[in-house]
Amino acid sequence: NTGALWGGRFAGGPADALAALSKSTHFDWRLARYDIAGSKAHARVLHKAGLLDDAELQGMLEALTKLDEDVASGAYLPAESDEDVHGSLERGLIERAGAQLGGKLRAGRSRNDQVATLGRMFLRDHARIIARGVLATVDALVEQAKAHHGVAMPGRTHLQHAQPVLLSHHLLAHAWALLRDVQRLQDWDKRAGVSPYGSGALAGSSLGLDPEAVAADLGFFSAVHNSIDGTASRDVFAEFAWVCSMIGVDLSRISEEVIFWATKEFSFVTLDDSYSTGSSIMPQKKNPDVAELARGKAGRLIGNLTGLLATLKGLPLAYNRDLQEDKEPVFDAADTLELLLPAVSGMIATLTFNTERMESLAPQGFALATDIAEWLVRQGVPFREAHELSGAAVKQAESRGVELWDLTDEEYAAISEHLTPEVRTVLSTEGSLNSRNSQGGTAPAAVERQLAALEGELAGV
């Protein structure tokens, strides 16, 4: 079997059960073209080290190019007998270059350094795709924020009315979190951009190969400084899975809000028909399935991360076959986000906001009580006392079933001499919003400065 990479010291072949367990071509074939790029880079350093002559290098590169074309077109596929992508591609190379030349390529490398390198290449490409998807979601939030700038809504803590905020302020809060996720992917790339190629099985190579040349050839910044670390570590994979989980969690939090904003009780948003689903029995239903799938897939992404960490925990150095389990969780994380992000960004971009309802609810539920307390502070009342007095006003309003602005001047005066009719200047949504003009605050002018700062950072990613 030309696809087997080992066998010399064995009297018989592997049991069928072992072969079936061992096999990884059904998921690692996605690394095939990275493997061939690695093989080309490796052939060049073998040539530089004098282990391939000019004609051999040329023959090798031509055969690899042909193999790459056949992989890309689907003409070359792993055979049932191939254990993994690396063995299968050696078989394909030998079919094209002959056993004499094809058999020379494996010198000075191991599947251990190969697979660690190819995984990083794959993830670096997908991190860029994911970052673009996250940025499209940020754009959708920014566009909605701009389109609704000036609209007030109830700001909540503990899901209870807290203080009025601008809808744009709320939407941009989600945008900042997602922008940090993009920055995390970019920062991760500094660590992912280091090539393990040349580490060999674990100890490096005796053949005078140049790992830095391979690294540069494959688009890495540099090669690892420790061959054991290069073949045994998977923290770069786990960090990728963590950033993907964080993105999933951030999308899930947006989605949870969309889900309850779309309920009859809230009626804050209407989902576009193109991003809602119906029911097979209830004809009236319009369901927020995109948001629910986002919330659900966050769980799946967290599962990928925790599964990978559990695989790594307790592994002695250097390579162990457990590490074959590193790929499916990170591949699935990338696939999941690449599927999810266009749907979530589309859902956000097409939301219709019921701005009248949001505005009318913004000051309700005594959401201006803090404004009364802060107004009293500006009149010289210690905050501790101001808090008590404003609380007493809330109690009075609640007992009568009215809002703070419905209390009479007499009722305010009865609570405290400090509560003069001038307190009414802060008893409006507009007054409350405008007063919060500090950096990061919800005043329209502060949110405009925030938007400029966000757009500045977006221009830099």
Residue 111 makes contact with ligand ARG by CB under 6 A: yes
Residue 323 makes contact with ligand ARG by CB under 6 A: yes
Residue 158 a catalytic site member: yes
Side-chain half-sphere of 281: how many Cα atoms within 13 Å? 0
Nearer to ligand ARG, 56 or 84 (CB): 84
Residue 115 makes contact with ligand ARG by CB under 6 A: yes
Catalytic position from the list 158, 274, 280, 399: 158
Q: Where are the alpha helices (DSSP H) in 324-428?
A: 327-349, 355-361, 369-378, 383-400, 409-415
Crossing angle (nearest 10°) for helices 111-147 and 444-460: 150
Nearer to ligand ARG, 24 or 304 (CB): 24
Catalytic position from the list 22, 222, 279, 360: 279
Q: What is the DSSP letter of 211?
A: H
The answer to whether 176 and 255 are in contact (CB under 8 A) is no
Nearer to ligand ARG, 123 or 419 (CB): 123
CA angle (179, 181, 182) in 5-degree steps? 65
CA distances (Å), origin 396, targets 129, 406, 408: 56, 10, 11
Which positions from 175 through 214 interact with ligand ARG, judged by CB under 6 A?
none
Which positions from 324 through 343 interact with ligand ARG, judged by CB under 6 A?
324
Nearest distance from C-beta of residue 28 to ligand ARG, angstroms = 6
Residue 168, both tokens: 């744009």
Which of the stretches 71-79, 164-172, 253-261, 321-329 binds ligand ARG when contact is defined by CB under 6 A?
Answer: 321-329
Residue 399 a catalytic site member: no
Site map for ligand ARG, 56-95, x if CB under 6 A? Answer: ----------------------------x-----------
The answer to whether 426 and 375 are in contact (CB under 8 A) is yes
* List 112, 117, 233, 416, residue binding ligand ARG (CB under 6 A): 112
Phi, psi dihedral angles at 379 (to 5 degrees): -85, 5
- Return the residue matching tokens 């072969």: 19
**The CA-based dihedral angle spanning residues 21, 25, 30, 35, taken in that order and rounded to the nearest 10 degrees:** 110
Residue 262 makes contact with ligand ARG by CB under 6 A: no
Nearer to ligand ARG, 84 or 239 (CB): 84
- Residues annotated as catalytic are 158, 279
Judged by the rule CB under 6 A, the positions of this chain that interact with ligand ARG are 24, 28, 84, 111-112, 115, 319, 321, 323-324
